[in-house]
Amino acid sequence: MNFNIIKVLLALIPVLLLNTPLVQAGDEPWYLEADRLEVDQDKNLLEAFGNVHLWRLNDYVQAEYARLYTDTNWVYLRGNIRAEFEGDSITGEEAELDIDSHVGWIKDGQVFMAEHNVYFTGRRLEKTGPHTYTFEQGVMTSCDDRPAPWSIKSSRGEITVEGYARLWHPRFRIKDRPVLYSPYMIAPVKTERQSGFLFPDIGYGSEYGVNVNVPYYWVIDDQRDMTFYANYYSDRGLMAGTEYRHTPGLYSKGLWRADWLRDREIHDEDNVPERLFREYRGQELFRSNRDRYWIRGKYDGYDPATGWTYKADVDLVSDQNYLMEFKSGQSGFYASRDEFESRFGRDIQDRNRLIRTNIFSAARNWGRWGLNARLVYSDHLAYKNDNLPRSKNPTLQRLPETNLDLYRTSLGNSPFELESANQAVYFWRKYGTTAGRVDVHPRLSLPLRAGWGRITPRVGWRQTGYMVDSFQADPAERDTDNRLQTRGIYDFNLSADSELFRIFDMGRPLDPGVDPVGSSAWTGLRHTIVPEVEFDYIPEKDQEKYPQFDSIDRIAPREELTYTLSNYFTRRQERIVEAADDEGPRLRRDYRDFLQLKLEQSYDFREARRRDRLNEYERRPFSDLMAQVRFNPNQYVTLRNKTWYSFYENMITEHEHTLTLTWPDKVSTWFSLDFLDQIDEYKRRIVDKTSIMELGADLDFIRNWHLGLLYRRDLEESVDLKRELRIKYRHQCYSLEFAVRETDYDHSFEIRINLLNLGEWGI
């Protein structure tokens, strides 16, 4: 039977899938189209010649010749084979496929797994199951270019989709040139999580020698996984580590990490690196311990049934030098900080902080009320390793702390509003006064609004009660033996603000019927002035007899007026653009707050009446004038400026400047200068003069290349704080990154290679 073009409904063929098990797709049949078709019903044989096209929905097979055995659903294909199933592509010259068992073979062919962007080519590729392949003289790569920038050629191999490729005698090739050989190799071919070894980190440090960190990744279930680290330092020993991640619910997640090292070295009085000693400004903090560890973790939880949210922040370290020494690599300080910030949006304390804080909290809101219960444990590293007597450790622990806040709310139908911050906390420590404290601070306000603006008076009362368990050990350091003490202080606040604005026309508005496409102009300017005045009053009260744990225990008197003047400039820009529907030019408007100016100063009435120490310090009731500028005329230039000027010193006492120049998607460069002058006066003491300059740039103007530069210098000490160079090349199937960093503490370099679907390897 001959046909020029014939379409035959093949109801006997239920499915043709190469990469996945049978998927129900309704009753949609397969269709066949060819230049010529011959059917032998006695042999249940169908042959198609010329431009053979077999398809159903998005799956199809093309070849020059096809022979289909309708009783066994076995198809033989020959000549310029093209096939696509579930997004994956197959090409070759000759193939046989068993539709029912999903097996077959292809000669001189290629399989492209689109979901993974993996190519497999070979002299003979055989599909042995719904998800498995074997091949001979095959090549694996994730690169679209030919010749491939990198590939792996092997004598034979086995591929399991969403699993691994096992390769015998693989040769890693660059541009078809072999550079590395291994008798055997396992490579991932997956998008889902799979257990197995990850690429190791290799490094070197003058303090710890050669470092090799080999991680093993274990998938526990859909919500949990772990990574185990064997982190070897040639001069220090083996550091064992683990990382546990879990997502028990849609709104809950946790990440916990721990490392432990039996260190071969100690840093005592006779053996301490100079930079570690210098970091703590000569506090003579040594490290006599060999058992070293760092336990850290974070957790965010939410129970939608009850509305409770839970948070945990854990940071326990064995000694003050641990985070200074082990900061790089997969188990280092910076990797943990980056992961916590990306997953939880919360940072961990800097590596040179001596007090490490651990917080466990539970919170819930009930409309106008909010409850936050916490346990806060602070670990002071200076009292470890016999540096300071542990019995004299005065570090405060807040075990527990409860905050019950009433949010600002109206009192019935009256114009008054009430808010209250309430706290109950028990302070415990090894050495020093311990006590429970209850602090209640309600505030009543009366917002008054008029056409010119608004004014809001507030009056509050802070009542604090102490229940002392034990006083400080030295009787001379306490003023009273009264174990139950109370304190009451009132406060008053008055705030007022207004808003004035005017809109200025800037020339003729653009007209799409007159002005050409591409014309652009500023056609309007809005100037907004926001004056604000705020007065705070707290009376003077003798509080020396009360215990002191934090700032709440010593409420300083205050009688201060703060006045602020803010200016906002908003421009309207019009542009003539071509309409997307080809109906002629259109007028487009956009608005930008391109300039903000803010002036702020305070007047201290108490300072104006001061009578003591006038022979040392003259009265200075006016604070420094703060001037803040933000200039952002377009997407290319941003200037941020904050400056404090003293009229008494006739000088700038502090300023913060940052100028950023940006060419979108090409270049971003910035210059910043932070300056703080030395001040010695009655109200404030800044004894260290600081001047920090920073220069930086991110350059992406060369395709696929990224260059990063950073330079930070202490101008007062004439010391370079940080110099960094980062170079990264990004390709479709790999990236190379090189970084050199030099700080006042250490020097380091880093090389990272990331191969698509194979992973990252770094030194």
Give every CB contact of residue 393 below 8 A, 6+ residues apart in sequence: 380, 383, 429, 430, 431
User: What's the pLDDT tens digit per position in 347-363?
Assistant: 899 888 999 999 999 99
Task: Please tell me the predicted confidence (pLDDT) of residue 526.
Answer: 95
Token pair 């270049």 is found at 667
At 606, is the secondary structure helix, strand, or coil? helix
Contact criterion met (CB below 8 Å) for 228 and 220: no
Return d(Cα 727, Cα 665) in angstroms, integer: 16
Q: Is 547 exposed, middle or buried (0-12, 13-18, 19+ CB in 10 A)?
A: buried
CB neighbours (10 Å) of residue 618?
11
Contact criterion met (CB below 8 Å) for 639 and 619: no
323: β partners: none
Return d(Cα 746, Cα 321) in angstroms, integer: 14
User: What's the pLDDT tens digit per position in 250-272?
Assistant: 889 999 999 999 999 887 766 66
Q: Are strands 585-604 and 558-578 parallel, antiparallel or unpaired?
A: antiparallel
At 379, is the secondary structure helix, strand, or coil? strand
Whether residue 2 has pLDDT greater than 70: no
What is the four-CA torsion angle of 375, 376, 377, 380, rounded to 10 degrees?
180
Contact criterion met (CB below 8 Å) for 62 and 75: no
Q: Which of 201, 208, 217 is nearest to 334 (CA)?
A: 201
Return d(Cα 319, Cα 348) in angstroms, integer: 16
Average pLDDT of the chain, as a whole number: 86
Return d(Cα 681, Cα 651) in angstroms, integer: 15
Q: What percent of the chain has pLDDT over 70?
A: 88
Q: Which two tokens stand for residue 459?
A: 């009056």
Task: Please tell me the predicted confidence (pLDDT) of residue 617.
Answer: 85
Domain 1-112 has CATH 3.30.70.890: no
Q: Are strands 184-189 and 690-699 parallel, antiparallel or unpaired?
A: unpaired
CA distance from start to end of the chain: 68
Ranges assigned E (strand) in 579-622: 585-604
Return d(Cα 372, Cα 440) in angstroms, integer: 15
Helix (H) or strand (E) holding 278, with range, is: helix 274-279
Identify the band that residue 9 occupies on the pLDDT scale cut at 50, 70 and 90.
Answer: very low
Return d(Cα 752, Cα 268) in angstroms, integer: 36
Q: Where are the alpha helices (DSSP H) in 305-417?
A: 322-325, 333-344
Give every CB contact of residue 209 below 8 A, 6+ residues apart in sequence: 233, 234, 235, 236
Mean pLDDT calculated for residue range 576-593: 83
Task: Please tell me the predicted confidence (pLDDT) of residue 496.
Answer: 96
Mean pLDDT calculated for residue range 231-251: 93
Return d(Cα 263, Cα 285) in angstroms, integer: 18
Q: Among 328-332, 727-731, 735-739, where is mean pLDDT lowest?
A: 328-332
Return d(Cα 212, Cα 749) in angstroms, integer: 15
Identify the band that residue 285 occupies on the pLDDT scale cut at 50, 70 and 90.
Answer: confident
What is the four-CA torsion angle of 312, 318, 323, 325, rounded to 10 degrees?
-160
Q: Which of 717, 665, 725 is nearest to 695 (CA)?
A: 725
Token pair 């705070």 is found at 536
What residue type is 561 in one-letter code? L
Contact criterion met (CB below 8 Å) for 721 and 744: yes
Mean pLDDT calculated for residue range 413-417: 94
Identify the band that residue 192 occupies on the pLDDT scale cut at 50, 70 and 90.
Answer: low
**How far are the Cα atoms of 248, 466, 529, 633 from residue 473, in angstroms, in the given order?**
47, 18, 58, 63
Mean pLDDT calculated for residue range 734-762: 78
Mean pLDDT calculated for residue range 533-553: 94
Domain boundary assignment for the chain: 1-112, 633-730
Q: What percent of the chain has pLDDT over 90?
A: 46
Most confident of 15-19, 387-391, 550-554: 550-554
Give every CB contact of residue 168 below 8 A, 6+ residues apart in sequence: 154, 155, 156, 157, 183, 184
